[in-house]
Structure 1
Amino acid sequence: MIKRAGDVLGALERALTVIAVVFMFVIMLLVVADVFMRYALNSPFSFTYDLIGLYLLAGVFFFTLSDALREHVHVGVDILLSRFSLTGRRLSEIVTALAGLFVFILICKVGFERALENYEQHDVLSGAIPWPTWISAALVPFGCGVLVLRLALQLVGNVLSLVSGRDLYPLPPVTGVGEARSFE
């Protein structure tokens, strides 16, 4: 059950990461085109800054949050972790998941309320193009919601592994002891 849930959630996370990569590519294209239009033709795009700042960058960030946790690429302080027993490492992961769940459930709740309020009030960005703000606000609870699912899976998997004594959910690699992957 844990493996199947992890596979399904992993597929969603990878799909969101692909979307984030497309967003990043669009950002690069827009910046290059805007610079060309600005300096070669003296006619920059009026929408580039708002589109990138309001939607695309938020999508890149929030769509990759959970996948980054799954791949263990967030910054982590594991200076003591190599000295812990397997039980200690599991307990550390459980405490971390509980703390993360508390914080990101609150962020989801507040983000959802804000996105809903922006939608109901037809809130738009003032400027040449009236961009609706609820879309970018909705990226917050969506991305954090996927992260909450990952943290919940991490919590349940580590608790079940601890209780059963079997390795039902993998522990993250510990850097400095030959387990972690390199960027190279």
Structure 2
Amino acid sequence: MTVAPSRSVRFVGRALTFAERAFMLIALLSLISMVLSVSADAIGRYAFRAPFSGNYEFTSFFAMVALTFMGMPGTYASGGHIRLTIFTPFLDRIPGRLSERINVIFGIVAFGLLAWATGQEAIHKFAVLETTLGAVQFPMYWSYVWVPLGAGLLCLRLLYELVHPQSRASVEVPA
């Protein structure tokens, strides 16, 4: 017998999905900006012998970090991560989805520690207003926000799945 989720549980699930989609939009905008800046740098470097100043810093410190960590929660929620399913038939026999919940607990601990540690570092970088050295001084403190935000939202999704496990059969891609 399946019990329908309560109104508050559905609200939390929708709020998480909304946040994950917003984060994914930031990740996609980061990817587009990275492609455009690398293209502008290549065109400037080889066509006009004038490279795009600060492209390396922008790509490595801002765009790649935002792409990776802002896309992580939505990728997990949609089942986009690589999964090892060789033991799934055996583990599905364990009642209460215990093996999935244990994996989720490990993820909560790992990404919770990551979010906490990088959040502390981000607060410190904002306090000192760190910038890069060089011709173009980028405000480095903004590059530190992506990791705790992405890891924190992933922790929230994992906490939600700990209490309300999702069926992974609907999101797994057959090999």
How high is the TM-score relative to the length of structure 2? 0.88
Which of residues 48, 54, 59 in structure 2 aligns to 1:47?
Answer: 54
Aligned residues with identical type, % of pairs = 26
Alignment RMSD (CA, Å): 1.9
Unmatched runs of 5 consecutive residues or more in structure 1? 159-169
Which of residues 170, 174, 181 in structure 1 aligns to 2:173?
Answer: 181
How far did residue 83 of structure 1 move? 2.4
2:160 counterpart residue number: 153
Unmatched runs of 5 consecutive residues or more in structure 2? 1-7
2:9 paired with 1:2: yes
How far did residue 148 of structure 1 move? 0.7
Which of residues 113, 119, 122 in structure 2 aligns to 1:106?
Answer: 113
| Partner Cα distance (2:139, 2:18) in 1 | 29
| Partner Cα distance (1:68, 1:105) in 2 | 18
Q: 1:128 to 1:3 in 2, by over 3 A?
A: same
1:90 counterpart residue number: 97
How far did residue 124 of structure 1 move? 1.3
**Given that residues 124 and 132 in structure 1 are in contact (C-alpha distance below 8 angstroms), is that contact kept between their aligned partners in structure 2?**
yes
2:4 counterpart residue number: none
For 2:49, the aligned partner's letter is N
**Given that residues 90 and 171 in structure 1 are in contact (C-alpha distance below 8 angstroms), is that contact kept between their aligned partners in structure 2?**
no
Count of matched residue positions in the alignment of Structure 1 and Structure 2: 168
How high is the TM-score relative to the length of structure 1? 0.84
Runs of 4+ in structure 1 deviating by more than 3 angstroms, as ranges, are: 85-89
